[in-house]
Amino acid sequence: METTPGAAPATGRGRPIPPPNRASRLTTLPAGTRQVVIVTGTGYSTTYATLETFHRAGGHWVAVSAPLPARLGAKGFSDNHTEGVATTPTGVYSFGPTMYGIAADPGVRFPYHRVVTDDWWNENPNSAAYNTFQHRSTNPGGFSEALWREVPAYTHFAVITYNMPPNVPKPVPHAGSGIFLHEFSTAGGGPTAGCVSMSHADLVSVLRWLDPKQSPRIVICPAQNLGRY
């Protein structure tokens, strides 16, 4: 990803401090986090969002890309997401340790698993493996997704650690599962079942930029609530 044209350079001796931005409003990120993705919309009911990326330099957050269009769940944001309801959960999350995709690794820095037949995301609240990746010959049940069939949405995707470690010790049944950063499911980019989606080109750019060594986080909320995080 390229830095936004005209953005102030990283701070340092003799360099200007960059202007305040959305990342500079955040107060709860871990000290080691050097990359942050911010997904905001105009209110709880919107299905349209803006995704922005920032990196930490010289003690300040600096914009990496121009704001990118994204889509949310068909029922907008929720502070109390539950299984089977098409809302996108608000909060601050990590990215899962593995990125996935039906297509070959596009050049990401995370470990990458190319999805094959019988790869599932277990979304059955009654399963001991709820909200985890599984390779098995039978459907885990509930709302579980056959990952290899989700074309083009799961061409590539990153796992957002909602209702999974390290955000919670273990998934809470019925609290929701399978929240991903993935590609638009239709050419026009319709709403999702609760994930955050982007165009193919924008998604690949973001996934390539994310670096596990930088302890990246993603913040998801209506724009007016950024001060919570």
pLDDT digits (tens, 9 = 90+) for 188-219: 789 999 999 999 999 999 999 999 999 999 99
Q: What residues does each domain of the chain span?
A: 32-228
Q: What is the bridge-based pairing of β-strands 68-71 and 132-135?
A: unpaired
Residue 48 has pLDDT above 60, yes or no: yes
- Residue 96 has what pLDDT? 98
Predicted TM-score (pTM) above 0.85: yes
- Dihedral sign computed on CA atoms, order 124, 181, 87, 74: negative
Residue 151 has pLDDT above 70, yes or no: yes
Strand partners, 38: 52, 219
Q: What angle do CA 229, 169, 226 make, to 5 degrees?
A: 10
- Residue 6 has what pLDDT? 38
Q: What is the largest CA-CA distance in the chain?
A: 61
- Residue 74 has what pLDDT? 98
